[in-house]
Amino acid sequence: MELRLINKKGYNDNRIIQVGDVEIGGSQLVVMAGPCAIEGKEQIFSTAEMVKKAGGKILRGGAFKPRTSPYSFQGLGEEGLELLKEAGAYYQLPVISEVMDTREVEVVAQYVDILQIGARNMQNYSLLREVGRANKPVMLKRGLSATVEDWLLAAEYIAAGGNQDIILCERGIRTFETYTRNTLDLSVVPIVKNLTSLPIIVDPSHGTGRRELVIPMAKAALAAGADGIMVEIHPNPCEALSDGPQSLEFPDFEDLMMEVHKLQEVLK
């Protein structure tokens, strides 16, 4: 595969991406957390408080949601972004949210610190070019059936647009296995580290689709060399409008953060 911009140029060529006070790709493991979908002020503020208190670094929350069915909850849109920004500002957490449409890149970029490209849009090349022109870090999730090559070339599209602040995110691929929602492919963590200069984050929530697997797979991701993890948490997963079964409750999230701190010492 022909990588010209994001390929590793030497043993120490590791890009560190600065987002507010947070360094992604540096010596600290970074935890991004928040609800799948922003549902209202109380939900996002209580979640942000939890993230901050437990040591999470970035607040996530979906406002424009890519739902398989047109009849499912589609997110609060710009109103959701407004709430996310407020919550992030209040708790001093940089925020990340997904952008799905070339025409919305500019407006989403006004609210968030990191633009997220979701798995379903990984090969939406118009959108990749557009975020390549944005002046914000971009997190590029791996597509459900994207090979490593497809994925890195998609990142190269963003870089070719002029934006090299790219974070890769593994979130599981489609296989024959049905026990898990997707199959989390952790081998890409060392592969990405060997082939590119970019940081990589792992999302064990989408990667497994089952709450009870999130903590062990988060630990595995960090042990494999990931720069951080992204997890879904919710004050009350049973009532979540999206992805409840894979969202951690707050006490589980605190357990997860303790495990991360333990691993931090051995790994970095």
- 183 is a contact residue toward a second copy (CB under 8 A): yes
- Residue of 8, 15, 78, 224 interacting with a second copy (CB under 8 A): 224
For a second copy, the binding residues in 138-167 under the rule CB under 8 A are: 143-145, 147-150, 153, 156-157, 160
Cα(184)–Cα(266) distance, rounded to whole angstroms?
A: 23
Instruction: Answer whether 205's CB lies under 8 Å from 243's CB.
Output: yes
Which residue's structure tokens are 């090979």? 147
- 107 is a contact residue toward a second copy (CB under 8 A): no
Between 46 and 74, CB nearer to a second copy: 74
- 223 is a contact residue toward a second copy (CB under 8 A): yes
For a second copy, the binding residues in 50-89 under the rule CB under 8 A are: 66-71
Q: How far is the CB of 106 from a second copy (least distance, A)?
A: 12
Between 113 and 130, CB nearer to a second copy: 130
The dihedral sign for the CA sequence 268, 141, 181, 58 = positive
Q: How far is the CB of 264 from a second copy (least distance, A)?
A: 10
Interacting residue ranges for a second copy, rule: CB under 8 A: 1-2, 4, 66-71, 100-104, 120-121, 123-127, 143-145, 147-150, 153, 156-157, 160, 173-180, 183-187, 189-191, 194, 207-208, 212-213, 216-217, 219-225, 262-263, 265-266
